[in-house]
């Protein structure tokens, strides 16, 4: 990947903000996205094409895509729950479209009101629309296997089912799958095992990314486990925005700042400048004064002499 080892994919504007009731103005979101990109963040999930009645915070996703597309070198990603959302994403010009396929069918029915088969139908339909576009206009189409490490409703999920759904998603036309620890249930041994199983089934190039939550404090250990075996994309949310990482049920994404420190401290390159990241963080704090912003590394500061060796 162009001069970097690990792609830190910022999902704060989507996974972070979606659980905040206070609406962040579109202009502020645009500025935050610009500051993130200025710090060197190369991929940002800017929003989700869901009905505004369901998630009012995501109502301006099309505008955010248009803004983010003006930033050179930035991969503009969005989440979509179905074909209709994907059509909106295509119309707006997103570079990357992700759709969740929940391994827990109970969760899938609650989250998107569709069974596995119905979701695979949506995936096939979206893949059809994408492939009908001229090659230069085709977005990268990814399926995020949510609850891949366990479900708050079903408990443990079958690893064989994760593998089968990964293969089915690729078969249905997705360019790639990702593994999501939606519930913060994952452990490092499971991360390594499951990534390898999915690689065996669909090929290593079809699974590059993980989406981890820090609900039980295991987020960075799980990220390390994933990167150790060769995962190159890790999602994170600036300031863990949108959910106290301590609270059950909260979003609790990995904190971008702590992940960037982890990666850079190990001598791997994210392409992200920590000072720039702190400027984006400061902006976010000011824009959302009532929202708690987390992060160990920003609170403690970088180690003395960090990066000077």
Q: Kindly list the residues in this chain that would bind a copy of itself in the complex (CB under 8 A).
A: 150-156, 183-185, 187-190, 214-218, 220-221, 223-225, 228, 245-248, 255, 258, 261-262, 265-267, 295-297, 299-301, 303-305, 308-309
Asked if residues 153 and 139 have their Cβ atoms less than 8 Å apart, the reply is no
| DSSP 3-state of 237 | strand
Closest to a copy of itself by CB, 13 or 150: 150
Nearest-Å Rg of the Cα atoms of the chain is 18
Tokens of residue 241, six digits: 């925005």
Residues constituting the chain: 309
User: Cβ 229 to a copy of itself, closest distance in Å?
Assistant: 11
How far does Cα 209 stand from its chain's mean position? Answer: 9
Query: Known catalytic residue: 30?
Result: no
**Tokens 């699974």 appear where?**
207
Asked if residues 223 and 254 have their Cβ atoms less than 8 Å apart, the reply is yes
C-alpha distances in Å from residue 124, one per residue of 56, 119, 171: 28, 9, 9
User: Cβ 225 to a copy of itself, closest distance in Å?
Assistant: 7
Closest to a copy of itself by CB, 190 or 233: 190
User: Cβ 219 to a copy of itself, closest distance in Å?
Assistant: 9
What single-letter DSSP state applies at residue 139?
Answer: P
| DSSP 3-state of 262 | helix
Closest to a copy of itself by CB, 77 or 223: 223
Instruction: Return d(Cα 169, Cα 303) in angstroms, integer.
Output: 43
Asked if residues 55 and 81 have their Cβ atoms less than 8 Å apart, the reply is no
User: Cβ 53 to a copy of itself, closest distance in Å?
Assistant: 30
H/E run at residue 78: strand 75-79
Closest to a copy of itself by CB, 118 or 152: 152
User: Cβ 264 to a copy of itself, closest distance in Å?
Assistant: 9
Closest to a copy of itself by CB, 56 or 217: 217
User: Cβ 287 to a copy of itself, closest distance in Å?
Assistant: 21
Best CA proximity match to 46, nearest among 21, 10, 20: 10
How far does Cα 30 stand from its chain's mean position? Answer: 18
**Tokens 């710090």 appear where?**
39
Closest to a copy of itself by CB, 91 or 189: 189
Task: Give the helix ranges, DSSP H, for 39-103.
Answer: 61-69, 83-92
Q: Which residues are catalytic?
A: 244
């Amino acid at each position: 990947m162009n001069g970097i080892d690990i792609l830190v994919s910022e999902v704060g504007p989507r996974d972070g903000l979606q659980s905040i009731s206070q609406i962040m103005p579109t202009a502020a979101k645009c500025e935050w996205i610009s500051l993130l990109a200025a710090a060197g963040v190369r991929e940002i999930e800017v929003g989700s094409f869901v009905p505004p009645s369901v998630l009012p915070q995501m109502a301006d996703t099309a505008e955010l895509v248009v803004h983010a597309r003006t930033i050179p070198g930035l991969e503009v990603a969005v989440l979509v729950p179905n074909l209709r959302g994907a059509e909106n994403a295509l119309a707006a010009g997103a570079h990357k479209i992700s759709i969740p396929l929940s391994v827990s069918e109970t969760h899938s029915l609650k989250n998107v009101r569709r069974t596995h088969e119905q979701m695979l139908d949506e995936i096939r339909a979206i893949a059809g629309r994408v492939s009908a576009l001229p090659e230069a206009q085709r977005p990268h189409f990814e399926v995020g296997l949510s609850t891949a490490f366990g479900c708050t409703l079903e408990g443990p999920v079958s690893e064989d089912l994760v593998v089968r759904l990964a293969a089915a998603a690729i078969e249905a036309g997705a360019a790639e799958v990702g593994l999501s620890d939606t519930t913060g249930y994952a452990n490092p041994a499971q991360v390594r095992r499951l990534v390898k199983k999915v690689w065996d089934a669909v090929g290593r190039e079809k699974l590059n990314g993980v989406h981890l939550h820090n609900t039980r404090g295991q987020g960075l250990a799980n990220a390390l486990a994933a990167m150790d075996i060769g995962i190159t994309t890790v999602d994170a949310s600036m300031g863990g925005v949108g959910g106290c990482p301590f609270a059950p049920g909260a979003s609790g994404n990995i904190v971008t700042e702590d992940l960037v420190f982890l990666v850079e401290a190990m001598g791997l390159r994210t392409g992200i400048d920590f000072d720039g990241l702190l400027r984006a963080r400061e902006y976010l704090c000011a824009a959302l004064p009532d929202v708690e912003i987390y992060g160990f590394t920003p609170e403690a500061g970088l180690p003395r002499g960090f990066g000077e060796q």
